[in-house]
Chains A and B, each alone.
Chain A
């Protein structure tokens, strides 16, 4: 049947995560640090509100852009938290997860041949989503010695006459790297100079632990060239509800609504009701989860460093991204052998981009008990490798 596939889809590479998932899924007693979603179940009050809405008969479509009450809440939330000013009626769209918002944004702005910059290591969906939208992904490789922080000169180097936009993700999946206002501003300067659009994926914005978060469009003159993408999945522990949103200039958002109305109609109604409750009454639940992530971040980072895997302190998201170079293994070897020997699943760093080689992604969105056990197992695993490779250990210090 392959001859029937569109060329674009046939050329699309399967995700490296998928392969690893198949391997891990066959095994028993796996402790997974490979999960890119919260371990918390959605707070009960959101679930209960969704029940209530269903009982009341809210089972039909909503407006294409999402319920106006929800768009008002999103607008108010962004205003309160990040000092942003978006009109609920034409600058906010509610989507099926942030993933759909990324897809809509790209299809809205990309002409065939347009280049869109992706900053690697990155979330695995950006590159394929750009290709599917008919664009050409151009990747920037951030450097380990810069703590995987994007530098303005790296954007300069990647820009060509065809560059249309850049995708940013702050805090970043998979590295947990967090960019402060002072670090974002020089990037904004280059972006303005070259008249680029920005797709700013801020799904992890609430999950930052040490410093205040700066939303990219809140930087001077960036709002008019930024589509802000976020959602409820990570901060509110609502991944399965599939609910995200995008905000931006009215012309761009209404163009996104146009695609959305023909391809999706609207985001699920019951999920929109749960999200409404999350924004109205979810602050304490969110804060409790953030406190817990921060503690586990502290725990996993100090444990990984003790084990002998060099791991900088990630400022946000729920991922640690330690170097495994001291073991002398590749990322894929490390992840596969660790899974086989100790039944701990981590994601090899190279699936997030070539510069992720030499690193693994460990999600700490897992109970402390599981994390503790995973660290014990990894300690055993790494100790065996370091015995064999004493030279590497010295070299890494």
Chain B
């Protein structure tokens, strides 16, 4: 991949809200060049989407519960873990699925509006899948940092003096 494509990706990974004009200025390119690069990166699925990081705890009546579920499964001949992973990641409640090294096979992140809702999903849907051998569920109590962003950074104002040599 070209160096400027990597630069562009790093910029929008940190802030997907930057306008094409601003990106062009930051990278010393023309807006049309940026648009072309983005189109190209979208086409080859290097860019998969643009999301916003929201602290739902700050939004009234929209609190959410997240559980990290360690799942042990039986892999299937020919397709390994991929088939069972797909059975799991198709559920909209499932926000992330990773194949892990170590004590269990799949790490599944599940989101719901109540603990009960998540419990229901795990007992009814996830653990009843044929290839699932066992599940261990951990509920998230507090988010400190997510995707490189600190959620409660209360004290991040500029502490520098206004003018200095």
Binding site for B on A (CB under 8 A): 15, 17, 20-21, 24-25, 30, 32, 34-37, 39, 123-125, 173, 291, 295-296, 298-299, 302-303, 345, 347, 368, 372
Complex interface: chain B residues within 8 A of A35 (CB): 160-164
Extra A-B contacts (18), CB below 8 Å, given A32-B160, A302-B25, A347-B163: A15-B165, A17-B163, A21-B161, A21-B162, A21-B163, A24-B162, A25-B161, A34-B162, A35-B162, A39-B158, A39-B160, A123-B165, A124-B165, A173-B165, A291-B7, A295-B11, A299-B22, A345-B163
Complex Cα gap A21–B10 (Å): 36
Q: Is B26 an interface residue (CB 8 A)?
A: yes
Q: Is B102 an interface residue (CB 8 A)?
A: no
In the complex, the chain B residue whose C-beta lies closest to that of A210 is B28
B56 to A: closest C-beta gap in Å: 23
Complex interface: chain B residues within 8 A of A24 (CB): 162-163
Complex interface: chain B residues within 8 A of A299 (CB): 22, 25-26
B154 to A: closest C-beta gap in Å: 14
Contact with A along B127-164 (1 / 0, CB 8 A): 00000000000000000000000000000001011111
Q: Is B115 an interface residue (CB 8 A)?
A: no
**Given the interface contacts A291-B7, A295-B11, does A34 sit within 8 Å of B28 by beta carbon?**
no
Complex Cα gap A37–B164 (Å): 8
Complex Cα gap A251–B161 (Å): 38
A–B pairs, 5, beta carbons within 8 Å: A17-B165, A25-B163, A123-B165, A295-B26, A368-B26
Complex interface: chain B residues within 8 A of A291 (CB): 7, 10
In the complex, the chain B residue whose C-beta lies closest to that of A26 is B162
Q: Do B26 and A298 have beta carbons less than 8 Å apart?
A: yes
Q: Do B162 and A32 have beta carbons less than 8 Å apart?
A: yes
Q: Is B27 an interface residue (CB 8 A)?
A: yes
B165 partner, pick from A30, A32, A36, A296, beta carbons under 8 A: A36
A21 partner, pick from B11, B22, B164, beta carbons under 8 A: B164
**Given the interface contacts A291-B7, A299-B22, does A34 sit within 8 Å of B164 by beta carbon?**
yes
Complex Cα gap A32–B159 (Å): 12
Q: Do A125 and B163 have beta carbons less than 8 Å apart?
A: no
A372 partner, pick from B22, B28, B158, B165, beta carbons under 8 A: B22
Which residues from 1 to 55 on chain B have a C-beta closer than 8 Å to any C-beta of chain A? 7, 10-11, 22, 25-28
Complex Cα gap A197–B132 (Å): 76
Complex Cα gap A125–B161 (Å): 18
Q: Do A295 and B27 have beta carbons less than 8 Å apart?
A: yes
Complex interface: chain B residues within 8 A of A372 (CB): 22
In the complex, the chain B residue whose C-beta lies closest to that of A125 is B165
In the complex, the chain A residue whose C-beta lies closest to that of B29 is A298
Complex Cα gap A30–B160 (Å): 12
Interface centre among B11, B158, B163, B165 (most CB of A within 10 A): B163
Complex Cα gap A25–B160 (Å): 11
Complex interface: chain B residues within 8 A of A21 (CB): 161-164
Complex Cα gap A302–B29 (Å): 11
Complex Cα gap A75–B105 (Å): 48
Complex interface: chain A residues within 8 A of B163 (CB): 17, 20-21, 24-25, 32, 34-35, 345, 347
A169 to B: closest C-beta gap in Å: 12
Complex Cα gap A372–B26 (Å): 11
Q: Do B28 and A298 have beta carbons less than 8 Å apart?
A: yes
Complex Cα gap A39–B25 (Å): 20
Complex interface: chain B residues within 8 A of A39 (CB): 158, 160
Complex interface: chain B residues within 8 A of A34 (CB): 162-164
Q: Do B162 and A17 have beta carbons less than 8 Å apart?
A: no
In the complex, the chain B residue whose C-beta lies closest to that of A32 is B162
Complex Cα gap A15–B11 (Å): 39
Complex Cα gap A32–B7 (Å): 27
Complex Cα gap A23–B100 (Å): 59
Complex Cα gap A345–B160 (Å): 13
In the complex, the chain A residue whose C-beta lies closest to that of B26 is A295
Interface centre among B11, B158, B161, B162 (most CB of A within 10 A): B162
Complex interface: chain A residues within 8 A of B158 (CB): 32, 39
B4 to A: closest C-beta gap in Å: 11
Complex interface: chain A residues within 8 A of B10 (CB): 291
Complex Cα gap A30–B157 (Å): 13
Complex interface: chain B residues within 8 A of A25 (CB): 161-163
A30 partner, pick from B11, B28, B162, beta carbons under 8 A: B162
Complex Cα gap A39–B162 (Å): 12
In the complex, the chain A residue whose C-beta lies closest to that of B15 is A368
Complex interface: chain B residues within 8 A of A124 (CB): 165
Complex interface: chain A residues within 8 A of B22 (CB): 299, 368, 372
Q: Do A345 and B164 have beta carbons less than 8 Å apart?
A: no
Complex Cα gap A302–B165 (Å): 24
Complex Cα gap A34–B158 (Å): 13
8 cross-chain pairs, A with B, having the tightest CB-CB distances, nearest first: A34-B163, A295-B26, A21-B163, A298-B28, A24-B162, A36-B164, A299-B25, A32-B162
